[in-house]
Amino acid sequence: MERDVTAALAALEAHRVEVGHHRIADLFDADPDRFGKFQARLGDLLFDYSKHRITEATLAHLLTLARAAKLEERRDALFAGEKVNLTENRPALHMALRNFSGRPIMVDGRDVTGDVTAEREKMFAFARGIREGVIRGARGGAFTDVVNIGIGGSDLGPAMAARALSPFAQPGLRTHFVANVDGADLADTLAPLDLSTTLFIISSKTFSTQETMTNAASARALVAAALGEDAIGDHFCAVSTKLDLVAKFGIQSDRVFGFWDWVGGRYSLWSSIGLALAISIGPKHFEDFLRGGHEVDEHFRTAPLQENIPVLMGLLGVWYRNVWGLGAHAVIPYDQRLARFPAYLQQLDMESNGKSVRRGGGLVTMATAPVIWGEPGTNGQHAFFQMLHQGTDIVPIDFLLAAEPVAADARHHELLFSNCLAQAEGLMRGRSRHEVDAILKKQGLSADAAAALAPHKVFAGDRPSSLLLYRRLDPRMLGRLVALYEHKVFVQAAIWDINPFDQWGVELGKELASRLGPIVSDDQASTQGLDGSTAGLIEYRRSLRGA
């Protein structure tokens, strides 16, 4: 397999030289049907990848690479429940959380669909109780605020989705998210809230994550001080598998919601980790979200590679990362409610594929995860788009755009839509010196002034982008978008021969922080054995605190 992948990459390198002679705009001029050839659809979702530096020959080479890496076999192993997470010896079956096919999902010879359905219904029943005011606080009031305390996958997913789907939230029931161990996060979130009508969700599979449990302990102390120790059971619930630790905290067993070790943290939004979202938008909309994800699962599982949206997304990323040597990828949603979507994708992509070791233990032989970043349009246009248009680095972009707004002004949306299309066109076409000279001449500038100004107004163009266009951002569509990127990450991991389901780099920092914690907390603790910088910084902090 490795030899076939190497050969496929070599063919792509040779092909790049050929494609490099053609501008993207020229490819459009040469082929009136280019848009029709380089697109794929799933329901009302259109993936337009025509503004890329590719031809039909490029696509054929990329598909050869995918087959050389045995992408189809690895995809089938993923859905079959094989232990594709090699370093932790477990499957990666987040797709089971949104499986509506009727097919069994097998883990170690056992169908887990019944367990998934039962846990989901337990979560839904609790969500209904909160939404309908049946489940109340210690003083008898209905809950007005829900605070999810988690970090990483226990925060980024639900926080992103709750903001994205805010038009579908129940009026009078607000959702908040606390993640940072910085006490300002918790303090600022709780400052305007009435604790007597606030429900806390502690989201931690192990119930031992340092940041989460520090925030949870502080929230518990505040509730106990304000409402009494007996109120803890009424104002806290948990998403965890550690029932003994949860009970010790004071949370009732019927308010504990679990998930399974075959669900990775950054893939857990579909599970009980989505409890805050389920409370906010309600069980029906949450199920729509799941069904959107399931539609993409079926598409990824069955669609031919050349029509398979996550496959195409992943292969285009490999084309730029490994053949063109581009180290960053931007995601720009033209939707303010998707403001946290790039941050969510940062964890999904870079925690999954930010690896330098192959599945078999050897070092990778090609670049892996690019830097993922982005902000909503049009804000980004007035910040970093200058670099995207005229900077020295080329950054491929994914634009996300709805045809119509949800709970927003239609006139505003026309402007938003126009801006997105204009940016994609401008990045692709650019503006030549000849065009600039003509514009400046028409403006009446002198020859000398025009000659001095013209170089600053030239745009090289040839900046590639994809556009995901859909009717509207609703729960089902958000489910589709999240699942598309999940499977895109898997596609790239298959090409790079890495395990996208572990995160040992995260564990190192936790381990070192646990070692340093006692030294930082105790001004008398010895810093002997620490490196010079760490010891010096601790000593300087002590001097500042003393002053």
Residues labelled as active-site residues: 351, 382, 510
DSSP string, 118-162: HHHHHHHHHHHHHHTT-SB-TTSPBP-EEEEE--GGGTHHHHHHH
DSSP annotation of 396 reads -
Are 266 and 347 in contact, with CB atoms under 8 Å apart? Answer: yes
DSSP string, 230-297: GGHHHHEEEE-S-HHHHHHHT--GGGEE---TTS-GGGGGGTGGGHHHHHHHHHHHHHHHHHHHHHHH
Are 396 and 317 in contact, with CB atoms under 8 Å apart? Answer: yes
Give 478's contacts (C-beta < 8 A, 6+ positions apart): 161, 164, 165, 289, 292
The per-type count for the chain, helices as H runs and strands as E runs, is: 22, 13
Rounded CA-CA distance 179/212 in Å is 7
DSSP string, 22-82: S-HHHHHHH-TTHHHHSEEEETTEEEE-TTSS--HHHHHHHHHHHHHTTHHHHHHHHHTT-
